[in-house]
Amino acid sequence: MTKEPAIRVRDLVKKFGSFTANDKLTFEVHQGEIFGFLGANGAGKTTAIKILCGLTAPTSGEVYVTGCNVAIQPEKVKKNIGYMSQRFSLYDDMTVAENIWFYAGIYGMDRQQIRGRISQLLSEMGISHIRNTLIRDIPIGWKQKLAFLVAVFHDPPLVFLDEPTAGVDPLARRQFWELIYQYAARGKTVFVTTHYMDEAEYCDRVCILSEGRIAALGTPNELKKLWNARSVEDVFLRIARPNHNKN
Amino acid sequence: MQRILFIIRKEFLQIFRNRFMVPIIFVVPVVQLIILVNAATLEMKNIRISIVDNDNSSVSHGLSDHIVHSPFFKFVPQEGNNLNLALRRMEKDQTDAILVFPDRFSESIHKGQPADLQLLINAINGMKAGITSSYVAQIIRNYFASSANELNVNASVQPGKTIHQVRISPLFWYNPELNYKIFMVPAILVILVTLTGALLAGLNLVREKEMGTIEQINVTPIGKFEFLAGKLIPFLIIALAELAFGLVMGKILFRIPILGSLLLLFGVVVVYLILVQSLSLLISTVSNTQQQAMFLIFFFMLIFIMTSGIFTPVESMPVIAQKLDWLNPVFYLMRMIRMILLKGSTLKDILPYILPMTGYAATMFLIAVRAYRKTT
């Protein structure tokens, strides 16, 4: 039997007034892959990810996530996905454990489950000692990891990460990608946006967005071969160059 | 249902961790009660009055004595018996009213002829002027009623006719001493629970929008009903605690009567809070910043409070305004809290108000739930 893709998007269009943020996006994301969504700032990455999560309604087009139509069954989709927003979304005035309890609670997990998983995951990540520290008092690298932990705490088959490594140092970025690999290794699908091109090399497949359209889609190697480039960064620059001044 | 508990727990954690919140919750009621109740009183004391006596008789002296010794008036003595001087004083705001006895005032009285008195009142504050005029009129009436035999005349009765005196003695129910503070304390309690309940719940929701945490919540499968109920309940509980605290302070500071059932009062306030909180959640749903929400909430709150009958009876407003008051949440509670506390009204007495308010509250909550968008 053929596996239903984790995400299936056809002719997705999103307009804000006369501005077209997403222009006829069509792509599929397979189950268990790390799918990179690349693009310059303003290319429409965040808009697309919000539509896939059911946070924003598309102007037109079909979006299926984990087999459900987002427009028709948004709540069913939400049970199956995790989302880490570009804007940091943990509560500053609550501790690590309190934040996790809250989000796990509104995902409908029961207390027994939460209690066990908190200890397990925090120790796996090596941050058990900050369990009762307020979020505002911990360094940004750890905050990012915690935001990831909150996004996947209910163990969804698909997780969306919107620029998860923005603003953190290279070491913390590397560590963060290890978390992503560990998660994908368990057969989960990861949809990640970034504008760090070195991170694109870590993805199974990448999709490069430019001015709301898909400019390239394939494995990093395919793209490099196709564009005759040494790295994904080169590919990106070649795509971006004609419109260099506009960005 | 369990999800609601998780939200409530989180809100309480944040409220009590906020160093501003706890003092605000307990200091605000005391300050509001003390300042507002004393400031909002309409009771008139120490109205300054000057007397120009051109008659200089035992009648004019007697009447002046009564006015000067009344607790409502403070006599402003003046040199010379000059109306112009007295008027100048009024222009300089050194006196509020001038009572002028014309010459031959007592002569007319003794002859049983109509006698005129002139009362000049500074009416910049119309309400105060009205009260001054009625106080003076009352003193004059009482003076002539009590001294009619002594003067051997009756001010209002023609000589030669039998004197039938009709005594009118008003009895004031529920607040026999006409203590304005007893009237105002329940009103201030209404403002207190409204501020706490409505403003805090509304601002809390917009704050999540500003911080971006609302997205993380909207991406979970939580129901809109559960989410809004979870946002509403913590501030409802805090507002009820404020009400309890305010009642105790009102009892201690102003000895307000609590004639009706407290259980009934709290029940009414729960319904009221659901109503005003739903309104403010609705406002926060359409606002993007705390500033917008605050402005809108205050806009509505001011109108609601001013037309609620807080100072003046709703019955003396224009008919159209009275009809519109059935849309004013504050009107319902303003009326019911006074009925329950001051009159000892029972559930049966307040039915005409509690029933429509309950329907209104349920409707507004459902509208707020419908208007809330997890997908924008």
What is the per-residue pLDDT for A96?
A: 94
- Residue B311 distance to chain A (closest CA, Å): 42
Q: Are residues A216 and A240 in contact, defined by beta-carbon separation less than 8 angstroms?
A: no
Give yes or no: residues B255 and B315 share one domain.
yes
Mean pLDDT for B296-320 is 88
Tell me, yes or no, if B13 comes closer than 8 A to chain A by beta carbon.
yes
**Which segments of A65-209 does DSSP mark as H helices, in order?**
74-80, 96-106, 111-124, 140-152, 170-185, 197-200
Q: Are residues B269 and B193 in contact, defined by beta-carbon separation less than 8 angstroms?
A: yes
What is the per-residue pLDDT for A185?
A: 93
What amino acid occupies position B261?
A: S
Share of chain B above pLDDT 70, in %: 90
What is the per-residue pLDDT for B178?
A: 61
- A chain contacts of residue B5, beta-carbon cutoff 8 Å: 105
For A7-89+157-246, give the CATH class.
alpha beta
Tell me, yes or no, if A220 comes closer than 8 A to chain B by beta carbon.
no
Tell me A242's DSSP state.
G
Give yes or no: residues B187 and B287 share one domain.
yes
The full 3-state SS of B185-250, as one line of letters, equals HHHHHHHHHHHHHHHHHHHHHHHHHHHCHHHHHHCCCCCHHHHHHHHHHHHHHHHHHHHHHHHHHH
Pick from A137, A60, A56, A68: nearest CA to A96: A137
What is the per-residue pLDDT for A245?
A: 44
What is the per-residue pLDDT for B1?
A: 76
Tell me, yes or no, if B220 comes closer than 8 A to chain A by beta carbon.
yes
What is the per-residue pLDDT for A191?
A: 95
What is the per-residue pLDDT for B150?
A: 61
Give yes or no: residues B96 and B243 share one domain.
no
What is the per-residue pLDDT for B338?
A: 93
Tell me A246's DSSP state.
G
Cα torsion through A107, A126, B212, A110, rounded to 10: 10
Tell me, yes or no, if A227 comes closer than 8 A to chain B by beta carbon.
no
- Residue B271 distance to chain A (closest CA, Å): 26
Task: Determine the structural domain holding residue B100 and report its residue range.
Answer: 47-151
**Local confidence band at B198 (pLDDT 50, 70, 90 cut-offs):** confident
Which tokens go with A51? 């539509």
The full 3-state SS of B25-92, as one line of letters, equals HHHHHHHHHHHHHHHCCCCCCCEEEEEEECCCCHHHHHHHHHHHCCCCEEECCCCCCCHHHHHHHHHC
Give yes or no: residues B34 and B51 share one domain.
no
Give yes or no: residues B129 and B212 share one domain.
no
Give yes or no: residues B65 and B189 share one domain.
no
Give yes or no: residues B254 and B339 share one domain.
yes
- A chain contacts of residue B2, beta-carbon cutoff 8 Å: 105, 108, 110
Tell me, yes or no, if B288 comes closer than 8 A to chain A by beta carbon.
no
d(CA B6, CA A105): 6
- Beta bridge partners, A210, equal A213
pLDDT, tens only, A159-198:
999 999 888 888 889 989 999 999 999 999 999 998 888 8
Give yes or no: residues B77 and B23 share one domain.
no
Give yes or no: residues B228 and B269 share one domain.
yes
Pairing of strands A7-16, A60-65: antiparallel
Give yes or no: residues B142 and B287 share one domain.
no
Q: Identify the burial level of B68 via C-beta atoms within 10 angstroms of its C-beta, where 0-12 means exposed, 13-18 middle and 19 or more buried.
A: middle
Terminal Cα distance for chain A, rounded: 44
Domain tally, chain B: 2
Q: Which contiguous run of DSSP H or E holds residue A125?
A: none
What amino acid occupies position B42?
A: L
Residue of A nearest to B16 (CA): A93
- B chain contacts of residue A102, beta-carbon cutoff 8 Å: 6-7, 9-10
Q: Which contiguous run of DSSP H or E holds residue B16?
A: helix B2-17
Is the pLDDT at B361 greater than 90? The verdict is yes
Q: What is the phi-psi region of residue B318: left when phi exceeds 0, alpha when psi lies from -120 to 50, beta otherwise?
A: beta
Q: Are A150 and B222 in contact (CB < 8 Å)?
A: no
Q: Are residues B360 and B366 in contact, defined by beta-carbon separation less than 8 angstroms?
A: no
Give yes or no: residues B238 and B367 share one domain.
yes
Picking from B216, B225, B372 by the largest number of A CB atoms within 10 A of its own CB, the best residue to mutate is B216
Chain-centre distance for alpha carbon B39: 10
Give yes or no: residues B221 and B298 share one domain.
yes
d(CA B290, CA B181): 35
Inside any domain, residue B139: yes
Share of chain B above pLDDT 90, in %: 42
pLDDT, tens only, B223-280:
999 999 999 999 999 999 999 999 999 999 888 899 999 999 999 999 999 999 999 9
**How far lies B119's CA from each of A84, B66, B69, B133, in Å?**
77, 15, 18, 8
- Residue B193 distance to chain A (closest CA, Å): 26
Inside any domain, residue B18: yes
End position of a domain, from candidates B133, B151, B169: B151
Q: Are residues A104 and A114 in contact, defined by beta-carbon separation less than 8 angstroms?
A: yes
- Residue A243 distance to chain B (closest CA, Å): 31
User: How many residues does this entry show for chain A?
Assistant: 247
Picking from B8, B11, B219 by the largest number of A CB atoms within 10 A of its own CB, the best residue to mutate is B219
End position of a domain, from candidates B108, B132, B151: B151
Q: Are residues B42 and B194 in contact, defined by beta-carbon separation less than 8 angstroms?
A: no
Inside any domain, residue B165: no
Inside any domain, residue B36: yes
Tell me, yes or no, if B218 comes closer than 8 A to chain A by beta carbon.
yes
d(CA A175, CA B167): 94
pLDDT, tens only, B147-195:
766 655 544 544 444 444 455 555 666 666 667 788 889 999 999 999 8
Share of chain A above pLDDT 90, in %: 47
Q: Which contiguous run of DSSP H or E holds residue B98?
A: strand B97-101
What is the per-residue pLDDT for B231?
A: 94
Which tokens go with A197? 């091109």
Tell me, yes or no, if A137 comes closer than 8 A to chain B by beta carbon.
no
Q: Are residues A165 and A144 in contact, defined by beta-carbon separation less than 8 angstroms?
A: yes
Tell me B165's DSSP state.
P
Domain extent listing, chain A = 7-89+157-246
Inside any domain, residue B164: no
Over chain A (247 residues), the average pLDDT of each successive run of 10 is 81 90 91 91 88 91 91 90 88 93 92 90 86 91 90 94 88 90 93 88 91 88 87 84 50
Pick from A121, A85, A83, A126: nearest CA to A101: A121
Q: Which contiguous run of DSSP H or E holds residue B112?
A: none
Inside any domain, residue B14: yes
Pick from B98, B120, B100: nearest CA to B53: B100
Tell me, yes or no, if B6 comes closer than 8 A to chain A by beta carbon.
yes
Compute the mean pLDDT over every residue in chain B, rounded to the nearest whole number: 86
The CATH number of the domain holding residue B114 is 3.40.1710.10
